[in-house]
Structure 1
Amino acid sequence: MHLVLAILLLIIDQASKFWVQRTLPMNKPHAILPPLLYLTYVENPGAAFSLLPGWRWFFIVVALAFLILVRTHLVQMTRENPSSRWGLALALAGTAGNLIDRIRHGSVIDFLDVPFFTVFNIADCCIVIGFGLIIWNQFHSHP
């Protein structure tokens, strides 16, 4: 079930980026819920907050290694840590989505624009929520 969720979220992420690339002009905000949310198509060649833009291959290698480790760990995990399993599934989907962008486009497609923050995408949301669940589980799991 966890891998099904990861695949579904990956499809949603890639479909949203496909739509953004074909619909929105680059760097022009479109109000969705002003002043809280805009859609702004940008391409990010770096990591979060556009850090390290020249490190594309490093990010690709790290993402591939992470995907292999998470996939292996997710399959081997017991059912005792459901929030960690869901968290890993979300992190897997998000990492795969951004990895596909880096390989196909040389950068990550971002479009969710919250003023006074950075522009991000669905894959980024999956990664943050996924690691949030994993961290939450570490503090709330019972021995």
Structure 2
Amino acid sequence: MFSFKMLLCALTLTLLAVTVEPSTGGGGTPNHNYELSGSELTRLYNSPVYKAERMKRPLDGTSVVLGPISHSGVSVSLRVTLADGSQWLIHKGGNYGISSQTVVVRATHMSSDWRVVATRDFQGTKKVADFVADGGSDYSFIFDNCHLGSRRMMNQ
């Protein structure tokens, strides 16, 4: 029985290792997409969020969305909808940003591989900055990855 547990642990760690390399190719969300700056960026971060959707997509090079074998975020690989109807993807990954590993990109950059897994109505009570803060500035494969960050964003 002990050897079966060891085999299972080794398999789990191998599968988790697939998520280490951040990439956006097939996912349709560019890593270093610094679209806004200055007052535009401040305005976005201060915008109220009306709806948030926790999203998942397969890792690049795979077609599977299964637990850690996926990338998640809040649409704001969390997608958020603002008062003006614009949608933004907030997601986290190693080397995604300069000062923070949680970044915000236009949802138009998302591929059709993304799927909604949870929706929450925030009625404008939270701002984009709240989601970015809950996503976390650092990335850790085991302790603070995209899945944990997107869950924190949805549970605020």
**Normalization by structure 2: what TM-score?**
0.24
Q: Which has the higher contact order (CA 8 A, sep 6+)?
A: 1
Structure with bigger strand share is 2
**Normalization by structure 1: what TM-score?**
0.25
